[in-house]
């Protein structure tokens, strides 16, 4: 099946008890057994739930993986991956990624004896400087949040294999419509399904997809043992979101391109960072591994002051000032004070995340209206 067909059909069967075409929300905490151990495959809803089961299968199929696991949030999915590790293990992670992931690694997991190296992942060879016998995991996001840097997944996967380390790719920004990291050698794909997969800003959810059975067993054990599972209604919302992912992503890409081009020509704008520009430093890799460039971008103003940025951030009408991304509606955000506030300022500045940087999640409204909205705000 092609991806658009998989998004609608993969992993989903008509409900066995009624034939309902849409997977029902199995709002139950437990399942009746005929005699001890004699049941229909479902014992307790933290461990198994039919709505979640359908979603896990669908997610595996659309990322070209064999196994999918769902979590209560993208962060819960990240947490589960790190719990594969033991004290003394080392992780090499991108120095430019979602602030909450950085916060979890440094503030939660360092104290359990894990060591994290935050490095520039745009050069796969750079990773070699940090590998040693304790390296167990390489973690990257591509495109990164919010700087839109691109990691060459194939090249990093080769380094991971050479070192017997796992490669986990956070594919939240691209979505499976634009990129499938497992095909390029990643071991685990992570999504904050809160974003493009759900797509309607009405659910917080996360997932992991992989091919290796042993890895899936270990992560399923963590999922069940630590219990950060999503409720069935949230799984239903993500399942419903998946069915239109391709149509939404096509419009996100079209609108993203129009707005990036318009911003680039605006005399008040200093720099626009969108991975579809031919002069983006990682354009060649983006073109190689992505099927489109998406609707995420950021920009700075010629007047590089917080005041000027604040004026834009509080003047748009269609672009709502809010955290998150990937929904049908356009959002504008200020990474330094919002999504990335948990990263120390010196660390942020090293990666170009200046105080006046503005991030856009371009939605699927009419692009002309979105441009008119930005035009009013950037004057
Ligand atoms: C790239 C990326 N990964 C992971 C997360 C965490 O996901 P969640 O908010 O669903 O916990 C986010 C949240 O913004 C994100 O942007």
For the stretch 81-114, pLDDT in tens is 999 999 999 999 999 899 999 999 999 999 999 9
Residues 6+ apart with CB under 8 A from 164: none
Crossing angle (nearest 10°) for helices 367-377 and 245-265: 40
pLDDT at residue 340, as a whole number? 86
Chain centre to alpha carbon of residue 212: 21
Testing ligand 1's pocket by substitution, the residue of 98, 147, 169 carrying the most ligand atoms inside 8 A of its CB is 98
Crossing angle (nearest 10°) for helices 50-62 and 232-242: 30
Q: Are 238 and 176 in contact (CB under 8 A)?
A: no
- As a whole number of angstroms, the distance between CA 373 and CA 362 comes to 12
Of 184, 114, 116, 117, which Cα lies nearest the Cα of 156? Answer: 184
- As a whole number of angstroms, the distance between CA 165 and CA 222 comes to 19
**Does the global pTM surpass 0.95?**
yes
Rounded to the nearest 5°, which phi and psi values hold at 99?
A: -60, -35
Tokens, residue 62: 């659309």
Testing ligand 1's pocket by substitution, the residue of 194, 325, 334, 343 carrying the most ligand atoms inside 8 A of its CB is 194
Ligand 1 centroid, distance to 111 Cα (angstroms): 22
Ligand 1 centroid, distance to 352 Cα (angstroms): 20
DSSP 3-state of 35: strand
Ligand 1 centroid, distance to 194 Cα (angstroms): 7
Ligand 1 centroid, distance to 32 Cα (angstroms): 36
Tokens, residue 252: 């996100």
Instruction: Count Cα atoms within 13 angstroms, Cβ side, for 277.
Output: 20
Q: Which residues line ligand 1 (CB under 6 A)?
A: 73-75, 98, 100-101, 141, 145, 170, 172-173, 192, 194, 204, 206
pLDDT at residue 344, as a whole number? 86
**Which DSSP symbol is given to 230?**
P
C-alpha distances out from residue 351 to 25, 92, 364, Å: 43, 16, 29
Of 292, 230, 307, which Cα lies nearest the Cα of 255? Answer: 292
Low-confidence ranges of the chain (pLDDT < 50): none
Tokens, residue 48: 């198994």
Q: Which helix (H) or strand (E) covers residue 37, if one does?
A: none
Tokens, residue 1: 């099946």
- As a whole number of angstroms, the distance between CA 16 and CA 273 comes to 49
Catalytic residues: 46, 98, 170, 195
């Amino acid at each position: 099946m092609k991806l658009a067909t998989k998004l609608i059909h993969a992993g989903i069967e008509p409900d066995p008890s009624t034939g309902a075409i849409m997977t029902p929300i199995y709002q139950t905490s437990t399942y009746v057994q005929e005699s001890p151990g004699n049941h229909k495959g479902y014992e307790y809803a933290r461990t198994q739930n039919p709505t979640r089961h359908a979603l896990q299968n669908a997610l595996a199929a659309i990322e070209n993986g064999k196994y999918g696991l769902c979590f209560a949030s993208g962060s819960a999915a990240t947490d589960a991956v790190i719990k594969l590790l033991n004290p003394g293990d080392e992780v090499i992670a991108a120095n430019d990624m979602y602030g909450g992931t950085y916060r979890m690694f440094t503030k939660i997991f360092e104290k359990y004896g894990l060591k994290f190296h935050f490095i520039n992942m745009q050069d796969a060879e750079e990773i070699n400087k940090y590998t040693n016998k304790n390296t167990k995991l390489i973690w990257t996001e591509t495109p990164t949040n919010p700087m839109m840097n691109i990691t060459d997944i194939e090249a990093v996967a080769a380094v991971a294999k050479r070192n017997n380390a796992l490669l986990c790719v956070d594919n939240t920004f691209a979505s499976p419509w634009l990129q499938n990291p497992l095909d390029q050698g990643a071991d685990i794909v992570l999504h904050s399904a809160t974003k493009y997969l759900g797509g309607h800003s009405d659910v917080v959810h996360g997932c992991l997809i992989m091919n290796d059975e042993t890895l899936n067993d270990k992560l399923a054990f963590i999922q069940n043992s630590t219990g950060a599972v999503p409720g069935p209604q949230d799984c239903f919302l993500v399942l419903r979101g998946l069915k239109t992912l391709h149509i939404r992503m096509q419009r996100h890409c079209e609108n993203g391109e129009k707005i990036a081009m318009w911003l680039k020509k605006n005399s008040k704008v200093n720099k626009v960072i969108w991975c579809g520009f031919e002069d983006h430093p990682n354009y060649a890799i983006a073109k190689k591994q992505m099927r489109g460039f998406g609707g995420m971008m950021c920009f700075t103003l010629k007047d590089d002051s917080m005041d000027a940025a604040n004026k834009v951030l509080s003047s748009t009408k269609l672009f709502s000032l809010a955290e998150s991304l990937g929904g049908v509606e356009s959002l504008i955000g200020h990474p330094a004070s919002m999504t990335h506030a948990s990263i120390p300022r010196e660390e942020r500045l090293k990666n170009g995340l200046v105080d006046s940087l503005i991030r856009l999640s371009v939605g699927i409204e009419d692009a002309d209206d979105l441009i008119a909205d930005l035009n009013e705000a950037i004057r």
